[in-house]
Structure 1
């Protein structure tokens, strides 16, 4: 951009003081012009690229030193006097600072408004933590230990928030989801092993969603179990026709709102369930969130491992690392850092400005969603079961069919119906996001090139087939056993899936961001300092916390396998 020259302008003197004008050509530099224009317009230029800030603001001054904006003061006003009278400029800066303090409520509103644009992915991730597997484990824990295992629910939720934050950091900074990073940075044989374990976890999760939805349809509408399993294939595939992670953000937001509605439906169901309870002390419930000996007494370890395995889901790590990238693309397109046509031809890498704008909001949105909705639903399941079933010896060994019957008898007929409705909403929403996670895993780890709808069909069919066979061969008892077995499989796969996530996010070799989008950070040109990749690995405190969580998960899974081997399952 060529700016108008002012070298031919004669020196102008103002009055008897013979002081040159603040905008005299011989005394004015481009830096001075930048400062003047910035103070006049009082605008935030933090989002303007560095290489265009000077040209843009220097050129906003006319040939004769007059502003291009009619509302901007002229060269002889107090704005120019800052150059001749520095003390007055400092005074005005202090006044501007005090004036900015009064705009804090407005700034808070802007932050909340921006946060609102990020709401969506957190709900989709939270769905993974309220699936039918949670119903089975939380009901069993509440029936056996009343409220004393709420501590495990809280601990599992904190574990989930930390791991999901790592997944979001990985996907945001690298521009790749967990499966894509495994394929890019790990040996081929190790990537294949991790893919098989991840696929096993997703199949086990999807089996739980299919079984839960089929049971709910049977309880609500008396639909046969085999037909219920088949229906889950149709509804998820129809819904997923409207999901395109690389498409228009508005269309993706509509899909996220639909999933949010399902989650809120589950929350409303359990609000009603809690309102039907009687004789429950609030103090007793809150004491359940404190550590107690019930965790290690009797079958407490087994129940705790079941809650952990059902809460911290492996497939949610793939989902969380990939689902946040649509907002990064939208930011870079809006900022002019890339274009849709460029994204189709090259591998997308988020710009540093996109990362800094989106990362904290994405983490906050997921953490809030998990700590409110997911924690509330899991706690509610356990509280309802503990309050209504802990005194019933038959409840400890009851499956979802038996729990529905017991709730209808001990609380009210409506309680059983609401429980079944919540189970249906959870199974449907969890099936949707599980299928999306399966697509991310297959695309990222194997780089499939077939059509998305066919990938979804294959992924869903692999999960539904065993459920249909079990439902047709052994009926209700077989479905319940398959549901419990799926949670054991998830618990075993979790340490293997989470290990590479922690490894990647702790290394600057992988966690670095280039200045320009569309550029692989490993191939960034380092000729200029401002183009040097920014290293963004985890802080050592976060890395240490993630490692401790991983060790706890491993220890609890070893204990679970020992208990299963001893016949405790």
Structure 2
């Protein structure tokens, strides 16, 4: 380095930056003298501990610790993605996937994969909407749309809920009829049990986070049961089935256009991208956001009054009679639900929860949901392709074909998977129906009365349809429900895209006192391009953070909507050409 002036010491600053997921930048500055750097020997003694090894071990420990922290945080968010995944493996998927495999072998696997991509994209928009606004899609419609438009959206949403209920009820009733010979009308009535279970148990506003997680894990067990059934089912497929030929189906080919394959592809899209899942996905994120803000004391003293004082009064049954105790308990439940429905997440909660929710949902849909849908199609394609009348077979005929072509156990396992899917999807559809009806209409009823009325709106028409049509028409009703879902899908995706692109809706406010201004400046640095500042006379500053979709996401959302709409028009035209034949 040449001659060095020792009277002046040059100083070099080495800055190492680190930022956690929701904390301000942490800056560590180390000052090293150039003289010290010059005095480092080029050939250090091997007996002396090497600082590089120490640094490498330190880096490894840091990576290990960070990985453990990320995994522990991620595990807290496991649940909502599984609940949403149930909507993509309901009994309606069985009928369409079996028909696709029987008519086009494996060539429509690419449509299953495309449907999964679209579903993940739309569900990420749902998570974003629910996280930023603190409201699900239906409540955003009620708050931001004109009343007439809100009721139109509600009509389409209720049609989707009823159609989904029809598919769950029919699938569960058929599975019970085949497995344990329960008469179809009795099987239809038995499906009401899951409705009553959800109505009694699931109260997102008044239930603890621990109870909600237990509820989610109960549904997850049913989903795992479905996956196990199809893992066993895949073991029965013919040995001559080529793995390469199966994976070739994930690439578009001319075979997918054979045997009216485009119409079948539209049915797969309609059965996979379920409209009611949009309301479900935007509503399941709130409990964890609320739990985060309560844990970090971001909601003020109101939560203490609800959680502590009223709980003490309710538990003191010796001081008050039972009627007053019931009134206190009902009042506490009402207060907690009011807090839940009026809750607006803080910026910290949004930053912390939204990315983990999206990752959990993506991994779940790309593993559980994609596996089940592909497995149904692969089993059908390897077993029923080129089999006479297999493409138009109902679930009874599918059971017989699998039992005769593969093994008697194959048909039974298929029906067991159908039963698990029907039960889990029925529970999830009940939750979605509750979200839809409570959000679009401002009910002035007690919580339990509201839940009873909202579920009767959809379950009664569903039961009438399922019981009155008879065994022969069940398959047509199942297929018709999927057609209805395909038709209403673009009408329900449109408000989702509109809300997430709106800067007036997708925004969150941070109130800053002058004493905390420097800290908050660092806290909001990563979003400085999307911040509007409003200064008040009381010495506070309100920073409005814009979290609307950027132009890339907006373009992709527009393309998805146009694509779904064009497929919808094609399906309606085909329906007219076949004079309404959906069999």
Q: TM-score, normalised to structure 1's length?
A: 0.81
Corresponding residue number in structure 2 for 1:61: none
Instruction: Classify 1:309/1:526 alpha carbon distance in 2 versus 1 (closer, same or farther; 3 Å).
Output: farther
Corresponding residue number in structure 2 for 1:546: 557
Q: Secondary structure at the match of 2:471?
A: helix
Instruction: Classify 1:265/1:402 alpha carbon distance in 2 versus 1 (closer, same or farther; 3 Å).
Output: same
Shift of 1:43: 12
Q: C-alpha separation between the residues in 2 aligned to 1:229 and 1:526?
A: 61
Q: Is the 8 A contact 1:351 1:516 kept in 2?
A: no
Shift of 1:459: 4.0
Q: TM-score, normalised to structure 2's length?
A: 0.79
Q: Secondary structure at the match of 2:472?
A: helix
- Comparing both structures, which one devotes a greater share of its residues to strand? 2
Match of residue 446, structure 1, among 428, 441, 444:
441
Corresponding residue number in structure 2 for 1:353: 348
Q: Is the 8 A contact 2:271 2:486 kept in 1?
A: yes
Corresponding residue number in structure 2 for 1:280: 241
Instruction: Classify 1:556/1:46 alpha carbon distance in 2 versus 1 (closer, same or farther; 3 Å).
Output: closer
Q: Secondary structure at the match of 2:503?
A: coil
Shift of 1:543: 1.5
Task: Find out whether 1:266 has 2:226 as its counterpart.
Answer: yes
Q: Is the 8 A contact 1:259 1:429 kept in 2?
A: yes
Shift of 1:472: 3.9
Corresponding residue number in structure 1 for 2:136: 177
Instruction: Classify 1:277/1:297 alpha carbon distance in 2 versus 1 (closer, same or farther; 3 Å).
Output: closer
Corresponding residue number in structure 1 for 2:505: 510
Q: Is the 8 A contact 1:309 1:488 kept in 2?
A: yes
Q: C-alpha separation between the residues in 2 aligned to 1:101 and 1:264?
A: 35
Q: C-alpha separation between the residues in 1 aligned to 2:381 and 2:282?
A: 35
Instruction: Classify 1:45/1:237 alpha carbon distance in 2 versus 1 (closer, same or farther; 3 Å).
Output: same
Shift of 1:387: 0.8
Match of residue 111, structure 2, among 136, 152, 173:
152
Shift of 1:442: 1.2
Q: C-alpha separation between the residues in 1 aligned to 2:273 and 2:225?
A: 22
Match of residue 279, structure 2, among 314, 318, 343:
318
Instruction: Classify 1:349/1:239 alpha carbon distance in 2 versus 1 (closer, same or farther; 3 Å).
Output: closer
Q: C-alpha separation between the residues in 1 aligned to 2:174 and 2:557?
A: 36
Task: Find out whether 1:485 has 2:480 as its counterpart.
Answer: yes
Equivalent residue runs for 1:297-446 within 5 Å: 297-338=258-299, 340=303, 341=305, 344=336, 347-446=342-441
Task: Find out whether 1:291 has 2:252 as its counterpart.
Answer: yes
Instruction: Classify 1:44/1:557 alpha carbon distance in 2 versus 1 (closer, same or farther; 3 Å).
Output: closer
Match of residue 150, structure 2, among 191, 211, 236:
191
Corresponding residue number in structure 2 for 1:107: 66
Shift of 1:189: 0.7
Shift of 1:181: 0.8
Q: Secondary structure at the match of 1:241?
A: helix
Shift of 1:105: 1.6
Structure 1 residue runs of 5 or longer lacking an equivalent are 1-38, 54-78, 518-522
Shift of 1:44: 8.8
Instruction: Classify 1:473/1:331 alpha carbon distance in 2 versus 1 (closer, same or farther; 3 Å).
Output: closer
Equivalent residue runs for 1:73-88 within 5 Å: 87=32
Q: Is the 8 A contact 2:384 2:390 kept in 1?
A: yes
Q: Which has the higher contact order (CA 8 A, sep 6+)?
A: 2
Q: Is the 8 A contact 2:110 2:249 kept in 1?
A: yes
Instruction: Classify 1:390/1:462 alpha carbon distance in 2 versus 1 (closer, same or farther; 3 Å).
Output: farther
Q: C-alpha separation between the residues in 2 aligned to 1:226 and 1:524?
A: 62
Instruction: Classify 1:393/1:529 alpha carbon distance in 2 versus 1 (closer, same or farther; 3 Å).
Output: farther
Q: C-alpha separation between the residues in 2 aligned to 1:446 and 1:361?
A: 31
Q: Is the 8 A contact 1:229 1:467 kept in 2?
A: no
Greater displacement, 266-275 / 226-235: 226-235
Q: Deviations over 1:509-533 (max 9, x none)?
A: 111112369xxxxx99653786311
Q: Deviations over 1:286-325 (max 9, x none)?
A: 0001112234344111101110111001110000001111
Q: C-alpha separation between the residues in 2 aligned to 1:314 and 1:287?
A: 30
Q: Secondary structure at the match of 1:394?
A: coil
Q: C-alpha separation between the residues in 1 aligned to 2:472 and 2:534?
A: 62
Q: C-alpha separation between the residues in 1 aligned to 2:255 and 2:18?
A: 59
Q: C-alpha separation between the residues in 1 aligned to 2:459 and 2:222?
A: 21
Task: Find out whether 1:535 has 2:496 as its counterpart.
Answer: no
Instruction: Classify 1:240/1:516 alpha carbon distance in 2 versus 1 (closer, same or farther; 3 Å).
Output: farther
Shift of 1:480: 1.2
Shift of 1:100: 4.9
Structure 2 residue runs of 5 or longer lacking an equivalent are 1-15, 37-50, 307-334, 513-531
Q: Secondary structure at the match of 1:133?
A: helix
Q: CA RMSD in A?
A: 3.0
Corresponding residue number in structure 1 for 2:569: 558
Instruction: Classify 1:505/1:467 alpha carbon distance in 2 versus 1 (closer, same or farther; 3 Å).
Output: closer
Corresponding residue number in structure 2 for 1:498: 493
Q: C-alpha separation between the residues in 2 aligned to 1:497 and 1:524?
A: 34
Task: Find out whether 1:135 has 2:135 as its counterpart.
Answer: no
Structure 1 outlier segments of 4+, above 6 Å: 42-50, 94-98
Task: Find out whether 1:245 has 2:204 as its counterpart.
Answer: yes
Q: C-alpha separation between the residues in 2 aligned to 1:494 and 1:526?
A: 43
Shift of 1:97: 8.5
Q: C-alpha separation between the residues in 2 aligned to 1:443 and 1:512?
A: 24
Corresponding residue number in structure 1 for 2:48: none
Instruction: Classify 1:171/1:102 alpha carbon distance in 2 versus 1 (closer, same or farther; 3 Å).
Output: same
Instruction: Classify 1:408/1:382 alpha carbon distance in 2 versus 1 (closer, same or farther; 3 Å).
Output: same
Shift of 1:507: 1.7
